[in-house]
Amino acid sequence: MDYPQSPTPSFLFDLDGTLIDSVYQHVIAWRAALTGIGIDLSVWRIHRRIGMSGGLFVHALLRETGRTLSLADIEQLQETHAAEYRKQVGSVTALPGATELLASLTGAGVKWAIATSGYAATARPALELLGLPEDTPMVTRDLVRHAKPDPDLFLAAAALLGVEPRHAMVVGDSVWDLLAARRAGTLGIGLQSGGYGREELERAGAYRVYADPAEMLARLDETGVRLDEAGLRED
């Protein structure tokens, strides 16, 4: 039969907790920044908000504490978080299988990009950590109007690749990634490497959940990618 052929899926990857093991460094950095202005929050409360836009993150935590801050204070808080995170960046590593997964997709001609709520100053150094070139397709918070759970980052990443969102899959470790994926009109794949459980990720919309990038690579056929054919298909 003659019928339209679907293109090989493209992938839009979150960064922290998805490709690099940095979630808890961010948690500690936020706690230090918050403690510096007299807000004492349990680590678990901070962890539940990692992956959100920094602005939404701060507003959510302030709502829980009953505090109010000026816009200038919030900007200073975000800058302090970035400075505290940079102090710990030496302990950040690539997650198991991350470099191999990206290399396998590239070798098969599968398009992919990174879309992160982090600003370029803290996100772009991860490219070297992953063994990626500077021109790797990456969308950071600086480039979009809103970050997760809004879909802007993933819509921008799909546009950067020249693909329709419905032909892409978002890979992320948090419920905020998956909510943004649903709003962007993409399928969502959850990774447990950021600390969220399988059921949480599935409830947020993940149609597949893997432990980390290594398991995703081992089961890549479940996403509709056939590595031995991907580079031969026409979009």
Average pLDDT over the chain reads 90
Work out the end-to-end distance of the chain between its first and last CA atoms, rounded to an integer number of angstroms.
Answer: 18
What's the half-sphere exposure (Cβ side, CA atoms, 13 Å) at 18?
A: 30
Reported as a single tens digit per residue, the pLDDT across 142-167 is 999 998 999 999 999 999 999 999 99
Per the annotation, the verdict on 135 as an active-site residue is no
User: Which of these is catalytic: 2, 14, 177, 228?
Assistant: 14
Q: Provide mean pLDDT across the span 57-84.
A: 80
pLDDT digits (tens, 9 = 90+) for 2-52: 888 878 899 999 999 999 999 999 999 989 988 888 888 888 888 877 877
- Which residue stretches of 6-123 are H helix? 23-35, 43-47, 54-65, 71-88, 98-107, 120-123
pLDDT tens digits for 195-233?
A: 999 999 999 999 999 999 999 999 999 998 877 765 544
pTM: 0.89
Catalytic residue among 2, 16, 73, 221: 16
16 catalytic per annotation? yes
Q: What is the pLDDT of residue 232?
A: 47
